[in-house]
């Protein structure tokens, strides 16, 4: 019999964070990610960690900023409207080169929107998300196991590159239960000689700061940060290819949309249509290479999204518009059905890629 346990995505993520030696969590209640906070509230006091329900999302991200300044692993989680409030802190953390894990269990928007699943924060997550030039490492889990795995990876990458890693999930990933195994080989945390832990009168003072009033200096910092981003694009891009060997129609989808699309690809194959799927796991850096490669061969791409078409822009950029890229989407908390995706595949197959 299986030793695996069923866990909700939100809970698996929270436990994985603890396993990754995160001992500080700050958050504010918002559906559909509140289980993360509830889980941390139960666990942290028992392991000498901090759980603090902050007065706002703004306060929570700034508490994260404070802990991160001391070099400890720290996280916060929220859902779309709350992430907007955290935007200020995310920009400051980018400017101060501070590592942290931030989780967005997305819901439909804009505004207060709804509480059902969505992927409409793709732009916000991958194109910066607040003022100034910066990126976060953005990872999109498509299973409960990945909710946990990418959390562990997120902490490691955040520390490695001194920047925010974001888990961009959705209500489905947060709420669903699947078997999960939480066995990890946690690498030791890198040295953080920059941390503000007190000089102990042994060194000059460390300063955590995002202010730089000399334009030449601020320019240099931006250029340096973007060199780091280039390294990440080179080394940390993650994706999954499914039935892409001989595919003529390629679906681009992440998270829950990729799960739905897999069903559609399977059904299309049964009906004799050569469909395949590229599932970006890192949304930033975006896995442009497999899309570019596929564009030399496939007849068309279909971007399946729970948004009005956000990732589709990156697919078009990656494929340099060589072949048509169409959108198959539901929004507002609705999720495309496998049947709907299958129809889109059939339509694309019928058109032979031409529009």
Partner 1 sequence: MSTTQFLFAGFGGQGILFAGKFAAYKGLMNEKHVSWLPSYGPEMRGGTASCSVIISDDPVGSPIVSKPDVLVAMNLPSLDRYEDAVATGGTIFVDSTLIDRKVKRADAAVYYVPATRLASDNGIPTLANMILMGNILKVMNDFDEDGVNAALKKVISAKHADMLEVNLKALKIGAEY
Partner 2 sequence: MVVFEKPYALTDVPMHYCPGCTHGIVHRLVAEVIDELGIEGRTVGIAPVGCSVMAYNYFNCDMIEAAHGRAPAVATGVKRAEPENIVFTYQGDGDLASIGTAETVHAAARNENITIIFINNAIYGMTGGQMAPTSLPGQITQTSPYGRDVTQCGFPVKVCEMLSELDGPEYLERVAVNNVKNVKNAKKAIKKAFQNQLDGKGFSLVEVLSSCPTNWGLTPQNALKWIDEKMIPYYPLGVYKDRSAAKEDTK
Query: Quick one: 68 or 77, whose CB is closer to partner 1?
Result: 77
Quick check: 169 and 106 in contact, CB under 8 A? yes
DSSP characters for 181-194?
-----PPPPPP-TT
The interface mask with partner 1, positions 238-257, x = CB under 8 A, is: ------------------x-
For residue 283, CA distances in Å to 77, 230, 288, 295 come to 18, 15, 10, 19
Quick check: 73 and 21 in contact, CB under 8 A? yes
The correct pick among 132, 217, 337, 352 for binding partner 1 (CB under 8 A) is: 337
338 touches, from partner 2, partner 1, none (C-beta below 5 to 8 Å by class): partner 1
Return the closest-CA partner of residue 65 out of 79, 55, 56, 75: 75
The correct pick among 175, 212, 222, 326 for binding partner 1 (CB under 8 A) is: 175
Specify the length of the chain in residues: 355
DSSP characters for 286-326?
--HHHHHHHHTT-SEEEEEESSSSSHHHHHHHHHTTSS-EE
d(CA 72, CA 49): 11
The angle, 0 to 180 degrees and rounded to 10, between the axes of the packed helices 144-161 and 215-235 is 140
125 touches, from partner 1, partner 2, none (C-beta below 5 to 8 Å by class): none
State the nearest-atom distance from the C-beta of 144 to partner 1, in Å. 8
4 touches, from partner 2, partner 1, none (C-beta below 5 to 8 Å by class): partner 1
Residues of this chain, 18-57, that bind partner 1 according to CB under 8 A:
31-32
The correct pick among 176, 182, 221, 238 for binding partner 1 (CB under 8 A) is: 176
181 binds partner 1 (CB under 8 A): no
Phi, psi dihedrals of residue 115, rounded to the nearest 5°: -120, 5
d(CA 9, CA 134): 28
Residue at token pair 């078409």: 309
For residue 77, CA distances in Å to 100, 102, 105, 117, 187 come to 11, 6, 8, 16, 23
Query: Quick one: 119 or 164, whose CB is closer to partner 1?
Result: 119
Query: Quick one: 56 or 337, whose CB is closer to partner 1?
Result: 337
Residues that bind partner 2 (CB under 8 A): 24, 26, 50, 52, 54-56, 58-60, 62-70, 72, 74, 88-89, 92, 96, 196-202, 205-211
The correct pick among 41, 338, 347, 353 for binding partner 1 (CB under 8 A) is: 338
Residues of this chain, 81-140, that bind partner 1 according to CB under 8 A:
115
The correct pick among 90, 335, 345, 348 for binding partner 1 (CB under 8 A) is: 335
68 touches, from partner 2, partner 1, none (C-beta below 5 to 8 Å by class): partner 2
115 touches, from partner 2, partner 1, none (C-beta below 5 to 8 Å by class): partner 1
Return the closest-CA partner of residue 93 out of 73, 70, 71, 68: 68
Give 179's strand partners: 6
189 touches, from partner 1, partner 2, none (C-beta below 5 to 8 Å by class): none
Q: Which residues of this protein are in contact with partner 1, per CB under 8 A?
A: 1-2, 4-6, 31-32, 115, 171-172, 175-179, 256, 259-260, 262-263, 266, 335, 337-339
């Amino acid at each position: 019999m299986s030793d695996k346990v069923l866990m909700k995505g939100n809970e698996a993520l929270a436990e994985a964070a603890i396993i990754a030696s995160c001992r500080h969590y700050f958050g504010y209640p918002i559906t559909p990610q509140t289980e993360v906070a509830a889980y941390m509230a139960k666990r942290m006091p028992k392991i000498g960690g901090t759980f603090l329900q902050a007065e706002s999302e703004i306060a929570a991200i700034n508490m994260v900023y404070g802990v991160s300044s001391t070099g400890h692993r720290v996280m916060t989680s929220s859902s779309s409207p709350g992430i907007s409030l955290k935007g200020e802190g995310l920009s400051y953390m980018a400017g101060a080169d501070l590592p942290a894990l931030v989780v967005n269990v997305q819901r439909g928007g804009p505004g207060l929107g709804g509480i059902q699943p969505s992927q409409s924060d793709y732009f916000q997550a991958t194109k910066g998300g607040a003022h100034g030039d910066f990126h976060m490492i953005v990872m999109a889990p498509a299973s409960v196991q990945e909710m946990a795995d990418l959390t562990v990876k997120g902490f490691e990458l955040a520390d490695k590159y001194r920047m925010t890693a974001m888990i961009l999930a959705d209500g489905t990933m947060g709420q669903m239960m699947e078997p999960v195994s939480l066995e990890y080989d946690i690498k030791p945390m890198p040295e953080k000689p920059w941390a503000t832990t007190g000089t102990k009168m042994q060194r000059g003072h460390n300063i955590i700061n995002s202010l730089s009033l000399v334009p030449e200096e601020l320019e240099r910092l931006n250029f340096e940060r973007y060199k780091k981003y280039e390294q990440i694009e080179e080394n940390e891009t993650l994706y999954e290819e499914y039935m892409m060997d001989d595919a003529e129609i390629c679906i681009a989808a992440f998270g829950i949309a990729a799960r739905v699309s897999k069903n559609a690809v399977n059904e299309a194959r049964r009906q004799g249509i050569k469909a395949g799927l590229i599932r970006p796991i890192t949304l930033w850096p975006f896995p442009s290479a497999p899309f570019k490669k596929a564009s030399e061969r496939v007849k068309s791409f279909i971007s399946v999204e729970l948004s009005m078409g956000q990732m589709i822009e990156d697919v078009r950029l990656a494929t340099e518009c060589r072949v048509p890229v169409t959108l198959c989407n539901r929004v507002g908390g609705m999720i495309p059905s496998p049947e709907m995706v299958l129809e889109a595949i059939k339509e694309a197959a019928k058109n032979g890629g031409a529009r």
